[in-house]
């Protein structure tokens, strides 16, 4: 029985580790106003962004504005693409963009950071505001989440470049008349797949220990 159990554990560990390496998630956190504008009124982080592998060629993207006040809204959303080939964007939930454009280093956020993908959201009517989210499935030949783990290209001096993503926020400040640009850095939150593997491993260790104590 012990040999069979150890063999099952080994197979599980190999399978689980393969799943983790094959399905990665990249998390980013927006916590810096970098343009000298008016930052959002609530404590940072003001928004989070994630890219997760669905399958080879398909990536799930989720932008969450949970840290913005209800009156604040996003006008433009920029991020980077370190891969090659055309991308297709399919909305899967939340607020959909009014326009999506792509191009190598074609889109400039405030300062001198250049990005590859730009989402534009409505500036009147159905605004993309605080507490809301926007999610898409992005597809492309051989696409993985790692292709979006790239910093913006710097221009002169790189004063405000080098972010993984940037958001143009409207209606900020006590008078709700300000605006600003917030940048995303790598989030310290571990990837969900790592939690699953760690908990599964701890459970197996505990199971083995209990069986030994019962002998």
Confidence of residue 198 (pLDDT cuts 50, 70, 90): very low
The predicted-structure confidence for 162-173, as pLDDT tens digits, reads as follows 789 999 999 998
CA 190 – CA 56 distance, rounded (Å):
22
pLDDT in tens, 9-57: 444 444 444 444 458 999 999 999 988 899 999 999 999 999 999 999 9
C-alpha–C-alpha distance, residues 121 and 100, integer Å: 9
pLDDT at 202: 46
pLDDT per residue over 156-196, tens digit each?
556 566 789 999 999 998 888 999 999 999 876 444 444 44
**Strand, helix or coil for residue 62:** strand
Output DSSP code: residue 174: T
Q: Name the percent of the chain lying above pLDDT 90.
A: 60
Backbone angles phi, psi at 162, to 5 degrees: 85, 10
Q: Does pLDDT of 143 surpass 50?
A: yes
Q: What whole-number distance in Å separates Cα of residue 161 and Cα of residue 6?
A: 51
Q: Which domains occur in the chain, in start order?
A: 25-199 (2.60.40)
User: Where does residue 107 fall: left (phi above 0), alpha (psi -120 to 50 degrees), or beta otherwise?
Assistant: beta
Higher pLDDT, 111 or 5: 111
**Beta-bridge mates of residue 75:** none
């Amino acid at each position: 029985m012990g040999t069979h159990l150890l063999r099952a554990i080994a197979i599980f560990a190999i399978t689980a580790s393969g799943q983790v390496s094959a399905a990665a998630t990249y998390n980013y956190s927006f916590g810096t106003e970098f343009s000298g504008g008016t930052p959002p009124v609530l404590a940072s982080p003001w928004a989070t962004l994630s890219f997760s592998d669905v399958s080879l060629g398909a990536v799930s993207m989720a932008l969450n504005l949970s840290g913005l006040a209800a009156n604040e809204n996003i006008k433009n959303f920029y991020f980077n693409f370190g891969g090659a080939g055309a991308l297709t964007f399919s909305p899967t939930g939340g607020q959909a963009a009014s326009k999506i454009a792509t191009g190598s280093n074609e889109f400039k956020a405030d300062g001198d950071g250049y990005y590859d993908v730009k989402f534009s959201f409505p500036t009147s009517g159905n605004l993309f505001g605080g507490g809301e989210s926007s999610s898409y499935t992005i597809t492309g030949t051989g696409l993985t989440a790692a292709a979006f783990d790239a910093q913006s290209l710097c221009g002169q001096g790189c004063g405000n470049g080098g972010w993984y993503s940037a958001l143009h926020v409207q209606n900020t400040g006590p008078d709700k008349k300000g605006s600003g640009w917030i940048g995303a850095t790598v989030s310290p939150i571990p990837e969900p797949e790592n939690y699953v593997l760690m908990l599964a491993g701890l459970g197996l260790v505990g199971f083995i220990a209990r069986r030994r104590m019962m002998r």
